Amino acid sequence: MNAFQRNESKETLFTFISAGDDPPKGDFPLQKKSPKLCGSNYPLSIAFIVVNEFCERFSYYGMRAVLTLYFLSYFHWDENLSTAVYHAFSALCYFTPVIGAIMADSWLGKYKTIIYLSIVYVVGHLIKSVGAIPSMGNQAVHVVLSMIGLFLIALGTGGIKPCVSAFGGDQFEEEHTAERSKFFSIFYLSINAGSLISTFVTPVLRGDVKCFGEDCYALAFGVPAALMVLALGE
């Protein structure tokens, strides 16, 4: 058999399929479907996404509920400075979603962006909580720790904002549009529930629980930090 015949025999191993033909059934394995929630059409992963969002919103709004009081009574800043820093922090939280969207679309993808910025978020909460412990140094140390913590929190909460809801919608198959719509209703319910509950709970922790001989800001910031650690674990 010459070289041409050998090449020709190799070419017969391949079959060409036209655009209108169905591919052989054995050549392409079926895509594995994601596990479903209690036998329904809802992916199991959305349960974790909803719980994650509840914890994240609790952590953010719980911390923010006592932030101005923290500036006034713990740092002894005047009202103008406290208000200015509070609104600067809020504005930064609504600017950083641009950064998160760029990271997700151009670099990391939604899932990795959520994971990495959630870690930043948790670190910010922990630094903020440590900065509220009186024994951690003088007021300058507390201010520096608090500002670093607030910056990381703003980067984390804003960075994941454009990714979480879209990532949740991506979990559904194309034919399950009704389930996807219900998911978004439950998703935004979890946002509002976490925000509402934390707005009541965190001020109670700050005022009714005493630590280090005064209002317990370390606990008021520590509980939202713990919820964000739980959210990251989800």
229 occurs within a structural domain: yes
**Structure-token pair, residue 160:** 């994941």
Question: Tens digit of pLDDT for each residue in 26-80?
Answer: 444 444 566 776 667 788 888 888 998 999 999 999 999 999 999 999 999 999 9
154 occurs within a structural domain: yes
- Residues paired with 210 in a beta bridge: 215
**Structure-token pair, residue 28:** 């392409």
38 occurs within a structural domain: no
Least confident of 75-84, 114-123, 129-138: 129-138
Which of 52, 36, 90 minimizes the C-alpha distance to 190?
52
| Helices (H) then strands (E): counts for the chain | 8, 2
107 occurs within a structural domain: yes
Q: Which residue range(s) make up the domain with 105?
A: 44-233
β pairing state of 210-211 and 214-215: antiparallel
* CB contact at 8 A, 120 and 152: yes
208 occurs within a structural domain: yes
pLDDT of residue 155: 96
96 occurs within a structural domain: yes
Higher pLDDT, 210 or 71: 71
Name every residue whose Cβ is closer than 8 Å to that of residue 54 and which is 6 or more positions away in sequence: 190, 191, 193, 194, 231
Number of domains into which the chain is organized: 1
Res 21 pLDDT > 90: no
Q: How far is Cα of residue 87 from the mean position of the Cα atoms in its chain?
A: 22
Phi-psi category of 210—alpha, beta or left, where left has phi over 0 and alpha has psi -120 to 50? beta
Q: What is the pTM of this model?
A: 0.80
Can you give the C-alpha Rg of the chain in angstroms? 26
- CATH of residue 140's domain is 1.20.1250.20
